[in-house]
């Protein structure tokens, strides 16, 4: 197991953009965060979830999703419920993005480019 800061800064700033938080606030809010990473048989994983991407047993995730909060608002209750189910892992490569409530110019451009590429290929 390794401890350190492994999440790329660009992911942190992208996440900040997706929720309408300033880059300065995101950096100051995560300044003391520590990432935990394990390597097993040559494969690496984080020992937590980062920006909505994690893997786990379906039964445990379903149990955690049964919390009482009707709206997400603050994701802390879900985080706590997932932690109580036991170990969860997060991939070290990003395969999804948190879109949040903000579609900024960068995301709008990426969506447009994906749409154009799909039209050309089909």
Asked whether residue 8 carries a pLDDT value surpassing 60, the answer given is yes
| Cβ 74 vs Cβ 114: under 8 Å | no
DSSP designation for 75: S
- Which residue is associated with the tokens 């893997």? 55
Q: Residue 38: its pLDDT value, please?
A: 92
Asked whether residue 73 carries a pLDDT value surpassing 60, the answer given is no
Q: Residue 66: its pLDDT value, please?
A: 66
Euclidean distance between CA atoms 33 and 37, whole angstroms? 13
Q: Residue 51, Cα to own-chain centre: how many angstroms?
A: 2
Per the structure block, which two tokens stand in for 40? Answer: 């097993």
23 or 118: whose pLDDT is higher?
A: 23
Collapse the DSSP code of 26 into the 3-class scheme (helix H, G, I; strand E, B; otherwise coil) and give the result. helix
Q: Where residue 52 falls among pLDDT bands split at 50, 70, 90? A: low
pLDDT 10s digits, 28-40: 988 888 888 999 9
pTM higher than the cut 0.75: no
pLDDT 10s digits, 81-116: 777 776 677 888 877 777 666 777 887 888 888 888
pLDDT 10s digits, 55-68: 667 777 777 776 55
Euclidean distance between CA atoms 91 and 14, whole angstroms? 17
């Amino acid at each position: 197991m390794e401890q350190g800061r492994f999440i790329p800064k660009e992911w942190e700033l992208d996440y900040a953009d997706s929720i309408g938080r300033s880059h300065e606030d995101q950096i100051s809010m995560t300044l003391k965060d520590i990432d935990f990473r394990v390597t097993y048989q040559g494969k690496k994983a984080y020992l937590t979830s980062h920006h909505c991407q994690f893997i786990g047993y379906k039964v445990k995730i379903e149990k955690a999703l049964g919390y009482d909060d009707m709206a997400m608002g603050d994701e802390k209750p879900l985080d706590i419920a997932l932690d109580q189910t036991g170990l969860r892992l997060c991939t070290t490569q990003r395969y999804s993005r948190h879109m949040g409530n903000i579609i900024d110019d960068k995301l709008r451009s990426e969506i447009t480019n994906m749409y154009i590429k799909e039209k050309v290929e089909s």
